[in-house]
Amino acid sequence: MSRSEQSAEIPYGTLDLLILKTLQSLGPLHGYAIARRIEQVAENTLHLSQGAIYPALMRLQQEGWISTKWGISETNRKVKFFSLTKAGQKQLVVELAKWENATAFVARFLEESI
């Protein structure tokens, strides 16, 4: 089986939740580190490209859920670090509740005899 056949897809609308949760758990990170951490937790069954992660980070920043600060990466490069804001912490609670409701609905649906 090829890597693309083995790769998982992130359910629509959950990337924001994954980013917010990663920042809550690990603190400020640059975009590349956020993407790699999500991939690591997914046991490398998915790949997040820059084309996926950076638009999501910009959207979260525009919403006021994350903030940015320039810093130096572990490879000594100037990078933008993203941090969870107080509004982002509140939004994470909302996103978690939406995820729990959605997964509970799907579980109920799958348990039904059709």
Q: What is the domain extent for residue 98? A: 3-111
pTM score, whole prediction: 0.85
Instruction: Provide the domain count of the chain.
Output: 1
pLDDT at 5 over 80: no
pLDDT, tens digit (0-9, with 9 covering 90-100), for 29-51 = 999 999 999 999 999 888 888 88
Q: Which of 24, 34, 102 is nearest to 73 (CA)?
A: 34
pLDDT tens sequence across 44-82: 888 888 888 999 999 999 999 999 999 998 899 999 999
Measure CA 87 to chain center.
Answer: 16
Residue 100 has a CB neighbour count (10 Å cut-off) of 10
Between the CA of residue 33 and those of 36, 48, 50, what are the distances in Å? 5, 11, 11
CATH label of the domain that carries residue 103: 1.10.10.10
